[in-house]
A and B are shown apart, each in its own frame.
Chain A
Amino acid sequence: MIHAAFLIPLFPLVGFAVLAPFGRKLGRPLAGWLATAMVAASFVVTVLVFAGLFQRPPADRSFTQHFFTWLSVDHLHVGVGVLVDPLSMTMASFITGVSALIHLYSIGYMEHDEQFPKFFVYLNLFVFSMLMLVLGDNFIVSFFGWEGVGVCSFFLISFWFDRPAAASAGKKAMIYNRIGDAGFLLAIFLVFERTGSVTYTTVFARLGQVGTPSLVAIALLFFLGAAGKSAQIPLYPWLADAMEGPTPVSALIHAATMVTAGVYLMTRINPILHLAPDAAHVVAWVGAGTALLAATIATSQDDIKKVLAYSTVSQLGFMFMAVGVGAYVAAIFLMLTHAFYKALLFLGAGSVIHAMDDEQDLKKMGALAKVMPVTAVTFLIAWLSIAGIPPFSGFWSKGDVLENAWTLTPALWAVGAAAAVLTGYYMGREYALVFLGRRRWVERRPVAAAGPAHGAVPVDADPGAGGARGTASTGSERHHGEEGLHPHDPRWVMRLPLLVLAVLAVFGGFINLPFHPSFVFLERWLDPVVGASLLNHHYSTGQQWAFALVDAAIAVTGAGSAYLLWRRRSDRPELEPRFLAMAWFIDWSFDHLIARPSTALASFTAAVVEGRVIDRAVDGTAGLVRSSGRVLRRIQNGYVRSYALGLVAGVVAIVAFVLSRAGV
């Protein structure tokens, strides 16, 4: 069964290959169903391979399926193949599973979009790239997938590219990711230079011949790549802007899967991190810092998706914290549960946005629990889960991370605990503002919606209205009649993913329970991959209970305070300081401290260095090319005699050369 592994990435690739030329002909909703079916098929295969792997003895749960050699130059051999082991299969199963659900959801969410087929072309390509990333048996294939998901992310953030914000958000994501990718590439070069291979198994087997400074450099360069992809300090601001993409994209790419690629990469190279503890500690502290920083920002955002975006950054910080202390299982555990509840949160937010006619401002919502019960309940589950209320999944996974952080140093734990309190708080605030309180959309809506609501006015013409979402909003008019909005739960294609994810968000935590060694299923499952470098510190049952109680208290504090503070009121400026709403002015400072000085420097160099030196060199080079081209083409004067002369000249030159050789 496990030899069917090649089918896992093949199905989405086929979907892409079919949809790219024929998607337009298939049209709505057939293109969407085809894409969904392909990912679902991939999920089924993944489960089968997973099961096949599970039946093998633990020591035998890793094998490489080599497809073909792509490049073979000197001693650089780049093959294309998949590495099937517990880690890659864990990743693949949740990627395909969550992707299938979100594909299904998108059929409903995007049903009125003009570019419906194209959306699914990108989505399938994304799933293929993501699977190549996690399944690849060497750094090059993973890098290919890494770039592939980056490109898809760019396309999908800018999906509504006629909106300037979306176009520039795509560029921003691209540029931040390029910085990280440079690190990834340099790391690969260094790995190849030091070990002479790019294949995971070979590289890890040869780590003994690499000095510690090189290992630290390699680990940090990989972390730079991971920080770009997974939005860690300092490369995180792009993720908030990435929310310009359609909400299913935010759920799939910018919450559940792609942004966790960095965590996967760091877990994959755990043998390197294990030998470079200094680099690992950097990872841990950057992760903790990101977790706290992003959590503070999330407390004061008004955009329903921005809160979730910063929440994602914060949760990714937790994951890196776990990776940094060597708790790879905890990182993957949190990644899994996070995929469930964060995807659920995004899809719930998408339902709300859909129902509210593309309104994203929390302050213009409220009391939706009554009209959208399914969305409200699933959102509630997701909130309690991310907050860490027992026995929801987030409680177990976050508890695992914090416990391991304590093992390294209590200071790290303290930072994490503070972020955890804020997590419960900001999500509670969002829940309360959306689903509780007064129906603020009734009061405000008629004024704001007057323009776009009545059809004839082009949507883009009124940038102030909530409806300025280009193509997506054109079809949303069915939600409101003459008198305003009638928000309601979405149809089943969107509701089913919510329910499935809600179930997973509740029970997902049971795959790795503390208290008894026989409960840690995930840890035993991943043992062949990360066991050798895992942080190994076992607390007594009593201590574990203490941790659990503290975690629960943290969660209740955060969630409860939010409930009390925001249940009735939507306006507490004292709790939304401007510096948090402005995200610590990070974008502003990047702009003022980096972008503007760089621009100034750039203008200076553009004027002086560029104008006087480089331009002349470059223009000179190209001018040389062009003028030599012009001169040379003059030889081609059209007269056959001169062509013959050229031929004769060549003959004479060559004969003269050989005769001089011959010594005649």
Chain B
Amino acid sequence: MSPLAALLSPAHLLAANGLVLPHVNYTAIMPELILLGGMLLLLGISAVSPRHLPTQVYATATAGIGIASLIASLVLWHDVQKGGPFSAVARAVDIDGFATLVLVLCSCVVILGAFFAAGFLEREQVQGVEYYALALISASGAMLMGSANDLILVFLGLEILSIPLYVMAGLDQRRAASGEAAMKYFLLGAFSSAVFVYGIALTYGATGSTNLASIGSFLAQNVVVSNGVLLGGLALLLVGFGFKVAAVPFHMWTPDVYAGSPTPAVGFMAAVAKIGAFGALLRVLFSTFPTLRTSWQPILWALAILTLLLGALVAVVQRDVKRMLAYSSINHAGFILLGVQAGTSRGAEASLYYLFVYSVLVLGTFGVVAVVGGRGDEGHGIERYRGLAHRRPLLAGSMAVLLLAQAGAPFTTGFFSKLYVIEASIAAHSYALATVAMLSAAIATFFYLRLVFAMFGERAGRQASVAVPVAPAGAGAPGGAAGQFPPVGTLPAGPAVASAAGVLTLERAAGLVDPGRAEAAAVADDDAGPVVADADLQVSPWVWVGLALCVGTTVVLGIWPSPLVDFARHATLLF
């Protein structure tokens, strides 16, 4: 070996300084590598291609990369189920059932996100590879958060997740709102990151390590002298996570960012940020700080209650669908917190299940919103949805399924997701929390159904619903609602019953509905705006594929829930 080569060899340099390079198990980080490698490939292609490639090319490639990483994740899942969990890369990465489920989830989000973005970017004539590259980086960050076994790595994952999202929020430079959203998201996100890092520093100071497993065993074996520092660190970590998942009072960026960002990016960031942050939160709390349960459970209890209530209450008064869905996503975060707060493996399982369900629902819902928003991505008032079912029955039907699932209607995955987190909460004796959750579900049903009513309501001078014989006017409001959804009120399930009751109460009292004429009035209330021209509602085949996947999973797994439930169960068995 020539002296020069020896000098340049990093191994030699490091060995000379007594450093040992860790062994890197590349299979353990294969999904992340696939996403990042694919991202580089995309950037390379776009750099060398002589002219702008159509956005569909990038969408196809992104979906392909997502599928590849999905396969890699499933291989890891298989390995873990067979050979048990293992640590890799100097114990910084933990591959267990939980981590692999997060990997699978992120891969699915990448695939779906590519579908919904393609149609949107084409319509808005946004060319280039940036959106897809950012999405891939962001998803790899979420993956890292899910499998990280070191607080520093969690922080890195958090930033890899967040920084592309800041850019995605501001990607639509023609709209001032997009820039504002990016600025708000960035400032507040960086602020919360700083808080998070400070939390890591304090935790490190109190326990002497940033490795999650080491901290956990340290806490199990020692009495911490500087308890205040440790608890302060934990509190700041919770704040960082709380910001990412949009828990009240750290939620305030959410409505503005969701309202301002390009619509498909909203669905993507809502899904991927929640997966990453909740993945890391669950791991940190359950495997590292179980000994401090008495300290973090009350905090999460309060956060969950505030999040559930504020999300539902403020969503009721929104007239902008994107803002409404933003508050609804805050409400959903509260539900997921329910499972975390329970502090049991059942709770973790319920939270994971909820994450999967929520990701699919939110991506699909925002996919439809992106279509309805029309050219320019500005038409998000609820009046745009009036009579949508008559013009676009399939689109409105898909949206209705997704919204009903978000409301927790039976025979959708949304029903089980709410059921399981509430069950976990009750099993953990958090009765008050479970009650609040059910109440908030009842309130939330109102604004979901309001949108459904707007879509399916009668348009002036037109025949009633196309698919269902609607009883003529004069059917009372309760009869109308009960007649439309007979199974909702009759199934013996808490959320559904609470929802049905809640709708009737709120419908009337929110002043939107005259007792006599439920749908008509709900729609009349939304009569203000202009009706969208049909030509403006171009649905690209990509969106159809994505919607078919979302609606299909929601309904099929809602009727036949065992596969996904078992998946989540196996993922958390290993805690």
A residues lining the B interface (CB < 8 Å)? 21, 68-71, 73-74, 80, 144, 147, 150-151, 154-155, 158-159, 161, 164, 167-168, 170-171, 174, 178, 181, 185, 188-189, 618-623, 625-626, 628-630, 632-633, 635-636, 638, 640, 642-644, 646-647, 649-651, 654-655, 657-659, 661-664
**A70-B561, A73-B423, A618-B508 are known contacts. Are A628 and B486 too (CB-CB below 8 A)?**
no
Whether A650 pairs with B242 at a CB distance below 8 angstroms is: yes
CB under 8 Å from chain A, chain B span 298-336: 298-299, 310, 313-318
Complex Cα–Cα for A649 and B195 (A): 13
Which residues on the B side are within 8 Å of A628 (C-beta)? Answer: 313
SS of A interface (majority): helix
Whether A654 pairs with B239 at a CB distance below 8 angstroms is: yes
SS of B interface (majority): helix
Nearest chain B residue, comparing its CB with the CB of A122 = B469
B residues lining the A interface (CB < 8 Å)? 183-184, 187-188, 191-192, 195, 227-228, 231-232, 234-236, 238-239, 242-243, 249-250, 252-253, 255-256, 294-295, 298-299, 310, 313-318, 394, 416, 419, 423, 443, 464, 468-472, 475, 479, 482-483, 486-487, 490, 492, 505-506, 508-511, 559-562
Whether B509 pairs with A621 at a CB distance below 8 angstroms is: yes
Contact of B299 among A73, A144, A642, A658 (CB under 8 A): A658
Contacts beyond the supplied A629-B313, A643-B184: 9 A-B pairs with Cβ under 8 Å: A68-B560, A71-B419, A80-B560, A144-B487, A622-B508, A625-B506, A625-B509, A647-B243, A661-B231
Whether B505 pairs with A618 at a CB distance below 8 angstroms is: yes
Which residues on the B side are within 8 Å of A154 (C-beta)? Answer: 483
Nearest chain B residue, comparing its CB with the CB of A643 = B252
Nearest chain A residue, comparing its CB with the CB of B492 = A189
Complex Cα–Cα for A159 and B187 (A): 59
Contact of A636 among B255, B419, B469 (CB under 8 A): B255
Which residues on the A side are within 8 Å of B464 (C-beta)? Answer: 161
Whether A618 pairs with B509 at a CB distance below 8 angstroms is: yes
Which residues on the B side are within 8 Å of A632 (C-beta)? Answer: 310, 313-314
Complex Cα–Cα for A171 and B511 (A): 27
Task: Quote the shortest CB–CB distance from B250 to chain A (angstroms).
Answer: 6
Whether A630 pairs with B243 at a CB distance below 8 angstroms is: no
Which residues on the B side are within 8 Å of A662 (C-beta)? Answer: 227-228, 231
Contact of B313 among A74, A158, A625, A638 (CB under 8 A): A625
Contact of B252 among A164, A646, A664 (CB under 8 A): A646
Which residues on the B side are within 8 Å of A168 (C-beta)? Answer: 471
Whether B184 pairs with A622 at a CB distance below 8 angstroms is: no
Task: Quote the shortest CB–CB distance from B30 to chain A (angstroms).
Answer: 32
Number of A-B contacts (CB under 8 A): 160
Nearest chain A residue, comparing its CB with the CB of B227 = A662
Nearest chain B residue, comparing its CB with the CB of A121 = B467
Which residues on the A side are within 8 Å of B192 (C-beta)? Answer: 647
Whether A659 pairs with B469 at a CB distance below 8 angstroms is: no
**A626-B510, A635-B252, A654-B239 are known contacts. Are A640 and B490 too (CB-CB below 8 A)?**
no
Nearest chain A residue, comparing its CB with the CB of B561 = A70
Whether A640 pairs with B184 at a CB distance below 8 angstroms is: yes
Task: Quote the shortest CB–CB distance from B77 to chain A (angstroms).
Answer: 21
Nearest chain B residue, comparing its CB with the CB of A654 = B235
Contact of A659 among B187, B232, B255, B475 (CB under 8 A): B232
Complex Cα–Cα for A359 and B30 (A): 74
Whether B314 pairs with A626 at a CB distance below 8 angstroms is: no
Which residues on the A side are within 8 Å of B471 (C-beta)? Answer: 158, 161, 167-168, 170-171
Whether A655 pairs with B242 at a CB distance below 8 angstroms is: no
Contact of B249 among A73, A161, A171, A646 (CB under 8 A): A646
Whether B313 pairs with A658 at a CB distance below 8 angstroms is: no
Complex Cα–Cα for A578 and B469 (A): 34
Which residues on the B side are within 8 Å of A189 (C-beta)? Answer: 492
Whether B510 pairs with A150 at a CB distance below 8 angstroms is: no
Nearest chain B residue, comparing its CB with the CB of A649 = B249
Which residues on the A side are within 8 Å of B560 (C-beta)? Answer: 68, 70, 80
Contact of A647 among B235, B239, B299 (CB under 8 A): B239
Complex Cα–Cα for A170 and B475 (A): 12
Which residues on the B side are within 8 Å of A74 (C-beta)? Answer: 423
Whether A659 pairs with B231 at a CB distance below 8 angstroms is: yes
Q: Can you report 21 residue pairs joining A to B where beta carbons are below 8 Å apart?
A: A68-B561, A71-B419, A74-B423, A150-B486, A168-B471, A170-B471, A622-B505, A622-B508, A625-B506, A632-B310, A633-B314, A635-B252, A643-B184, A646-B249, A647-B250, A650-B242, A654-B235, A657-B298, A658-B235, A659-B232, A664-B227
Whether B234 pairs with A658 at a CB distance below 8 angstroms is: yes
Complex Cα–Cα for A647 and B228 (A): 21
Which residues on the B side are within 8 Å of A161 (C-beta)? Answer: 464, 469-471
Task: Quote the shortest CB–CB distance from B183 to chain A (angstroms).
Answer: 7
Nearest chain B residue, comparing its CB with the CB of A72 = B565
Whether A643 pairs with B317 at a CB distance below 8 angstroms is: no
Whether A643 pairs with B299 at a CB distance below 8 angstroms is: no
Whether A147 pairs with B239 at a CB distance below 8 angstroms is: no
Which residues on the B side are within 8 Å of A71 (C-beta)? Answer: 416, 419, 561
Task: Quote the shortest CB–CB distance from B229 to chain A (angstroms).
Answer: 9
Task: Quote the shortest CB–CB distance from A224 to chain B (angstroms).
Answer: 15
Q: Which 5 residue pairs are nearest across A and B when measured between Cβ atoms?
A: A622-B509, A161-B469, A643-B252, A658-B231, A629-B317
Whether B314 pairs with A181 at a CB distance below 8 angstroms is: no
Whether A659 pairs with B423 at a CB distance below 8 angstroms is: no
Complex Cα–Cα for A188 and B314 (A): 38
Whether A661 pairs with B295 at a CB distance below 8 angstroms is: yes
Contact of B506 among A622, A647, A649 (CB under 8 A): A622
Which residues on the B side are within 8 Å of A629 (C-beta)? Answer: 313-317
Which residues on the A side are within 8 Å of B255 (C-beta)? Answer: 636
Whether B239 pairs with A650 at a CB distance below 8 angstroms is: yes
Whether A619 pairs with B232 at a CB distance below 8 angstroms is: no
